[in-house]
Amino acid sequence: MTREEKSIAIENITAKLAESNVVYIADTSGLDAETTSNLRRACFKAGIKMEVVKNTLLEKAMEASDNDYGDLSSVLKGNSSLMIATVANAPAKIIKDFRKKSDKPVFKGAFINNEIYIGDNLLDSLAALKSKEEVIGEIIGLLQSPAKRILSALLNNAESKGEAAE
């Protein structure tokens, strides 16, 4: 790879990093072609962009980025796959699902909404994160609950008065 090609690759990775606040790094080495293909397909269906990247290029892209990736570059050893998503827990769920059949992919680290997560031991916690839509849905449900109870009480009260008048 020439210096110019490396520069273009770094610019492309930097642009991809700028597109999202959800970036996962995983080790997919050792997966056979069929499993890798299935992983890519699952990522595509979940709206996750996945690609294998060179560690040095990813590290330089992180340095060039406006985001502060902190110690995330410390996980850039061995094989690294970059997973970029819009939903914070989607890549963790995909990784966790694939780990039911084998010990790969291994979660290395993530950058989620300016927070850094490093270590495979955090995978379950990240998979349990709620998406923005789920949190909004819960809040709406909580807000609607008191109003529904008041309406129900008023309707029951009106019905009982109507029965008493007869």
For tokens 């990093």, name the residue.
Answer: 17
Q: For residue range 18-71, what is the model confidence (pLDDT) as tens digits? A: 888 899 999 988 888 888 888 999 999 999 999 988 989 999 998 888 888 888
Q: What is the pLDDT of residues 62-88, one digit of tens each?
A: 888 888 888 888 888 888 899 999 888
**Tens digits of per-residue pLDDT, 108-122?**
999 988 888 888 888
pLDDT score at 49: 92
- Beta pairing partners, 115: 112
Angstrom distances, CA of residue 112 to CA of 45, 46, 146:
20, 17, 34
- pTM attached to this predicted model: 0.76
First to last CA, the chain: 90
